[in-house]
Structure 1
Amino acid sequence: MNQLYEKASAASYSKTDGNIMSPLGFIAGGLHCGIKRKRPDLAWLYSEVPAKAAAVYTTNHFQAAPIKVTKESLAKSQMLQGMIINSGNANSFTGNEGLAHAYMMRKWFAGHIGVEEDLIGVASTGVIGELLPIEKIEAGISNIPIGKNETGGDFFEKAILTTDTFQKRACAVVEIDGKTVTVAGAAKGSGMIHPNMATMLAFITTDAEVESETLQTVLKQMVNETFNMITVDGDTSTNDMVVMMANGMAENQPLSAQHPEWHKFMDAFSYVCTQLAKQIARDGEGATKLVEVFVSGAETKNAAQTVAKTVIGSNLVKTAIFGADANWGRIINAIGYSGVNVDENMLTVKLGGFTVVENGMPGSYLDEEAHKYLAGNEEIHIDVDLGSGSHSAIAWGCDLTYDYVKINATYRS
């Protein structure tokens, strides 16, 4: 579980089947404007009132035009009222013309819904190095219906996808100050996924009233605990961002760490981000299994995260899991090159319910049973106890399959 705060109760929030429009005052949708052949490729999200906003961006040195525009919008007031998003084209490495196109998207959408330009963010995902078909996007924005449609959340989720095989959403409801507060999110991501953000976009909405500085702080912390703990293939893209908007329409008292029910909001927020991160990891290109690595007994939080991310990112570990080969030596190998100082005599590793290493020595287990576990389950759990401290971390990833190569070898075909 995330360790940003003390969890008062596992039942402090309710999971729901809602979507990004479930918090009060949010409207979303998606349509086909012609970037892709048939599928929805233009998505929008906006709030009935300006919302406090925060964002975290890719660590790739080459940041795409939409990120630059969104950063500029947020820098003015730490507020957003909407996002316009296209898929099928990243608008990355497109020079001044690409930047101009991102500004055009912001201007057109702001004008269409009747808000100031500086309250609009822009996001794009898809192929790098190609100019947007900007006339098609302009026509698409002009066709965006104003107002809420009950299918809008579903079409929003579809319109942001690229090589994803399924839509990604999560929603939780909690009571704060006697008010019903909802936190929801939608995401896309399948390939070029690696810690410190990847080819992923995530949008989180809440009707909670949250102090501005607190919002940016907790988003960065939560991204570090969730989205930065997933990996598919070790690549980090130029377009990734997580954007959060809090419009305050639930009318609770402003939330911060000093609020007596702060933990309830954080529980719900943690649930939404964790679920989205796990869905992205599960949908890794060509993947057949979700892999979870839980590291405990570390001297520091950073050490736990480093070991977890190193194990989950090992191609040898990932291919062994795909082949249902309980080759725990590959896990040990990854721990060894993680850069964390580990006493091998204190190390214990479990694969599912099987102890494969105990206090630095091979465990007593049947290889055939471990093979059955790997072959027969879509979720694989690896537990690593470093035996030297009290800190822990979780990372998520997937197996590495033949289909991953096939998908990426023909990505532009």
Structure 2
Amino acid sequence: MGQEKYTVVEGGSIITPKGFSAGGLHCGLKKTERHDLGAIVCDVPAAAAAVYTTNVFQAAPLKVTRESLQDGRLQAVVVNSGNANACTGKQGEEDAYRMRAEAAQHLGVAEQAVAVASTGVIGELLKMDCVTAGIAGLPQRLKHEASGAEDFAQAILTTDLVKKEACVSVTVNGKKVTIAGAAKGSGMIHPNMATMLAFVTTDAVIEAEVLQRLLRQATDVTFNMITVDGDTSTNDMLIAMASGLSGHETLNPSHPDWQAFASGFTYVCQVLAKAIARDGEGATKLVEVNVNGAVNDMSARAIAKTVIGSSLVKSAMFGADANWGRIIAAVGRAGEPVNPETVDIRLGDILVLEGSRPIAFDEDEALEYLKGDLVRIVVDLHHGEGRATAWGCDLTYEYVRINAAYRT
């Protein structure tokens, strides 16, 4: 992802691309007065794509959204937090379809053009009187200005401490194209999506099939490379919408500006993914694992995800303990080809293992490094050309406290 191909838009949001508005409000699903219902709306039917959780138990909104996306077009997304509408049976499905119908009616778009997403507690029926009243109030809250994006970003949060946004611009056929995203996610986060909802908007001209392929490729190296706790949710969803209002020639991999667009798109996904990892429940730091020299990229990804997902490694990071033994143990159990005689490990720039043998290092220097907000673990396998990066966080007392009382 060469950054020279795109420009970061400071203060940009999901409504920065042409044609999008957003908003949010409190409808009563959350016990506090925080926003819990939001929407993104496009002025025109947009080319759309999505990826979903790999969990066998998939929440009712995913079924509805898959159905809406059959023709590769969307014009609106309605999202609630505070209730996942998962494992809620036939009633849950009926409620998700009702959310779609009510949103279509009040937003003035076709029912098939509405996606539905939910996040929160599993196994509880939605308070549909609150939801329907909230949806009726959404049109008045939709804005093309930053405040609308702010309200939406707040409406999708659960245990998140901060909103997660990103925005870049690229040049296509001499015209400015903007790509933006918003996401939520903090706990029940694991590769192959997470407890996360993410939304990407762009004003690029692109066919739905091409957008779908790009979305999957970007997800593989971003959202599928994060973990907080090894749990995969029932509700994960990532939706991309392209309004086409930039008016350039249709983008595809043979377009001369395709690489710039794909790099910017992937960068937005990466920023959101890293923000989710950094905001892991109770986390005090972002942990990045770089694996180099694997037999191929797929193998490197598996090893990086095993290291970043290790509870022992995560605990050591919380305690600022330079315990490289936990790292190499995770590498060795990843089920991938590794030469046990050629592994190097660094904590930042501090070499702690060379050729699979311990070497002397300054423990005080390592302690100071591991106390930082970002810890980078570098594993060089010297076994091939494969490389990958994964992101996660430390495992803290606070994580246990939050999840021990999630429903209460």
Same fold per TM (> 0.5)? Answer: yes
2:184 is matched with which residue? Answer: 188
Q: Indicate which of 221, 224, 230 corresponds to 2:220.
A: 224
The CA distance in 2 between the partners of 1:238 and 1:13, in whole Å, is: 34
The CA distance in 2 between the partners of 1:143 and 1:396, in whole Å, is: 38
The CA distance in 1 between the partners of 2:208 and 2:41, in whole Å, is: 18
- TM-score when normalising by structure 1: 0.97
The CA distance in 2 between the partners of 1:368 and 1:103, in whole Å, is: 58
CA contact (8 A) 2:165 2:272 kept: yes
2:20 is matched with which residue? Answer: 26
1:132 is matched with which residue? Answer: 126
2:391 is matched with which residue? Answer: 396
CA shift digits 1:48-73 (9 cap, x unpaired):
00001000000000000000000001
1:50 is matched with which residue? Answer: 45
Letter in 2 for 1:12: K
The CA distance in 1 between the partners of 2:359 and 2:5, in whole Å, is: 39
1:109 is matched with which residue? Answer: 103
The CA distance in 2 between the partners of 1:338 and 1:277, in whole Å, is: 22
2:65 is matched with which residue? Answer: 70
- TM-score when normalising by structure 2: 0.98
The CA distance in 2 between the partners of 1:209 and 1:98, in whole Å, is: 36
2:30 is matched with which residue? Answer: 36
1:99 is matched with which residue? Answer: 93
1:3 is matched with which residue? Answer: none
The CA distance in 1 between the partners of 2:89 and 2:396, in whole Å, is: 35
The CA distance in 2 between the partners of 1:68 and 1:60, in whole Å, is: 13
2:243 is matched with which residue? Answer: 247
The CA distance in 1 between the partners of 2:359 and 2:237, in whole Å, is: 42
Give unmatched runs, 5+ long, in structure 2. Answer: none
The CA distance in 2 between the partners of 1:374 and 1:51, in whole Å, is: 45
2:5 is matched with which residue? Answer: 12
The CA distance in 1 between the partners of 2:21 and 2:198, in whole Å, is: 16
Letter in 2 for 1:87: S
Report how far residue 303 of structure 1 moved: 0.4
Q: Indicate which of 376, 380, 383 corresponds to 1:381.
A: 376
Report how far residue 149 of structure 1 moved: 4.6
The CA distance in 1 between the partners of 2:215 and 2:144, in whole Å, is: 28
The CA distance in 1 between the partners of 2:223 and 2:144, in whole Å, is: 29
Structure 1 stretches of 4+ with a deviation exceeding 6 A read none
1:234 is matched with which residue? Answer: 230
1:261 is matched with which residue? Answer: 257
2:299 is matched with which residue? Answer: 303
Q: Indicate which of 85, 88, 96 corresponds to 2:82.
A: 88
Report how far residue 345 of structure 1 moved: 1.6
The CA distance in 2 between the partners of 1:254 and 1:359, in whole Å, is: 50
Report how far residue 34 of structure 1 moved: 0.5
Counterpart secondary structure, 1:344: coil
Give unmatched runs, 5+ long, in structure 1. Answer: 1-6
1:330 is matched with which residue? Answer: 326
CA shift digits 1:125-175 (9 cap, x unpaired):
000000000011100011113552520000100000000000000000111
Percent pairwise identity? 56
The CA distance in 1 between the partners of 2:220 and 2:144, in whole Å, is: 34
- What's the RMSD between the two structures over aligned residues? 0.9
Counterpart secondary structure, 1:237: coil
The CA distance in 1 between the partners of 2:396 and 2:60, in whole Å, is: 33
CA shift digits 1:55-112 (9 cap, x unpaired):
000000000000000000101x111011000000000011111100000000011111
Report how far residue 395 of structure 1 moved: 0.2
* Higher mean C-alpha deviation, range 178-187 or range 360-369: 360-369
The CA distance in 1 between the partners of 2:207 and 2:406, in whole Å, is: 42
CA shift digits 1:247-277 (9 cap, x unpaired):
1001111111000110110111011000000
CA contact (8 A) 2:106 2:139 kept: no
Instruction: Establish whether residue 357 from structure 1 lines up as the match of residue 353 from structure 2.
Output: yes
CA shift digits 1:360-412 (9 cap, x unpaired):
1112311221111112x100000011101112100000000000000000111
1:141 is matched with which residue? Answer: 135
The CA distance in 2 between the partners of 1:291 and 1:10, in whole Å, is: 22
Letter in 2 for 1:282: R
Inter-CA distance 374–328: structure 2 relative to 1 (3 Å threshold): same
Counterpart secondary structure, 2:120: strand
2:159 is matched with which residue? Answer: 163
Report how far residue 341 of structure 1 moved: 1.6
The CA distance in 2 between the partners of 1:282 and 1:176, in whole Å, is: 32
CA contact (8 A) 2:187 2:280 kept: yes
Counterpart secondary structure, 2:118: strand
